[in-house]
Amino acid sequence: MTEQDILNFIVTTNPTPELSEIIAQLDFDNETYPNLEASIIKLGIASKTEWQKAFRSAQRAHRIRSALGTVPATPRELVEAILDTYAFRLNANAAHPLSWVSPIQKNRVRLSVDELIEEATSVNRNLLGDQFKKANVVDEVVYLQRKVDHEVRSAILEKLTQTGTTFDWDALIATSFDTTNVSAEITIAVLQKLIWQIKRRLAGLPIVYHLMPVVYGSQGCGKSVFITKLLGELGSLFATTDFNRLSDNREANLFRNFALFLDEMNKADRADMDAVKAVITREELSYRPMGTNASVSMDQNACFIGASNKLLEQLINDPTGIRRFFQIDFNSASGPAEFAFINGLDFTAMWCSVDHLAADPCEPHREAMKALQSRHANRSSVGEFADALVANEGRYRVPSSFEGGSVDRTLRTGVIAKDEIYLAYRDWCAVMRKKAALEQAGFLSELRRMSSQEAGFPIQPKKTNKMNGWQYVGPIAEATKALDVFHGRVMA
């Protein structure tokens, strides 16, 4: 209505309209109403203060409604209005869980949750005058994302738990995997364990003994194609990444995925493996959304699988036996027939054949898998010291100013104090020029670990009335045996 139309409306309406009724007739798109205030005051409908307050409030509401299509009364309504107005689309992809129709490019562009938070806080500040607390706006974005996550994961889990389906695991292994080093039974168990872990994550169930399979094979053999098709059953719930991103705090949204594929793990040697192992087993993460000081907690959903044309021991320097990782070997001689086989696989049936409510598929093979894992571990200096003792029948080299700089010394076969055996290790490291010799506490910790976990380890803990010491139980040179008997060192 024009200003004159408003005045006519007031004069002809009986009884005289309320201030709110007059405000409802205003057309802010086309009119400015420069003289309406004076008329309202003269007619006694409202005071100057009352009119200005109502008029400015109506202008603000119009401005907000023009931008958002509504006037949000809560932070949730604000976020929902932004999603509707900009044609945002929420999905469960962890790296880019949002998209919107760009007003510039006129096509759908992918965004992150942090970018939605930035847009929502900007609208709240610039359009609403900080009507809502920033933390509350952030909470609503996170809530909506979690709601979508739950809906998507429930739908995918339902698809992957259909009954009445079968899958020929033996045919898969015979065609696509090399079982020279790892048996068919263990290879199947490792692949089933990955599916079992992911389905349990989708169902919100706990996982014990987290495992990351690493598929080894020559370049171009089809291992990455196989993994991508396998994880493709998760739709938007999986992503491809690398080790560096796993240990980067800025990549928190990555862990909204339920599977992460590390294709060609060429960066593994530069990654902080302690941090990577911690991420693999962690149930929850905290991160700070962009532009805020608030810390947000989120579930760590991801399970991991990698592909590499390098052996596991070439990628990961982990003397504890790399128990979080397990290498299975792809068929490096794959050709057109093998590729056709993979392309024809029913991957949905593969997923449905694994019961996530049943026992861990790897449990029957745990001891055999431990032995295989230990073969891929880079030997620690403590292990190398023990190996040298065995190879030299209890003798080891120590620094000397004679005999070319070092001489042989024999480790006593009786009970040895911790200081004495550490000194022997340190002397051996000096001769062998080991730059990363452990301090005594680290040495003893590694010695305890290896003596308890490695079958046949030649140095074992030995307790007497006087001390808790160590004893070398490996092969001994005949001359050393005679000397020990002469000195009364052989223990009963």
Distance, in Å, from the CA atom of 383 to the CA atom of 381, rounded to the nearest integer, reads 5
pTM for this structure?
Answer: 0.63
Q: Which helix (H) or strand (E) holds 385?
A: helix 381-391
Distance, in Å, from the CA atom of 403 to the CA atom of 227, rounded to the nearest integer, reads 57
Distance, in Å, from the CA atom of 149 to the CA atom of 142, rounded to the nearest integer, reads 10
Q: How far is CA 488 from the centre of its chain?
A: 58
Residues 195 and 265 in one domain: yes
Residues 194 and 341 in one domain: yes
Distance, in Å, from the CA atom of 233 to the CA atom of 159, rounded to the nearest integer, reads 9
Residue 452: CB partners within 8 Å, gap ≥ 6?
none
Which pLDDT does position 486 carry in this prediction? 33
Which pLDDT does position 490 carry in this prediction? 38
Rounded to a whole number of angstroms, the CA Rg of the chain reads 35
Residues 65 and 51 in one domain: yes
Which pLDDT does position 403 carry in this prediction? 55
The total number of structural domains in the chain stands at 3
Residues 445 and 304 in one domain: no
Distance, in Å, from the CA atom of 153 to the CA atom of 126, rounded to the nearest integer, reads 36
Residue 155 lies in a domain: no
Q: Whole domain around residue 15: which residue ranges?
A: 3-129
Residue 136 lies in a domain: no
Residue range 420-448, pLDDT digits in tens: 999 999 999 998 888 778 899 989 988 99
Residue 152 lies in a domain: no
Which parts of the chain sit beneath pLDDT 70?
86-112, 249, 266-276, 287-296, 317-321, 376-378, 401-404, 478-492
The token pair at 216 is 């080894």
* Beta-bridge partners for 177: 330
Residues 302 and 348 in one domain: yes
Q: Residue holding tokens 């998507």? A: 152
Angle (CA) 31-37-40 rounded to 5° is 115
The token pair at 82 is 């932004």
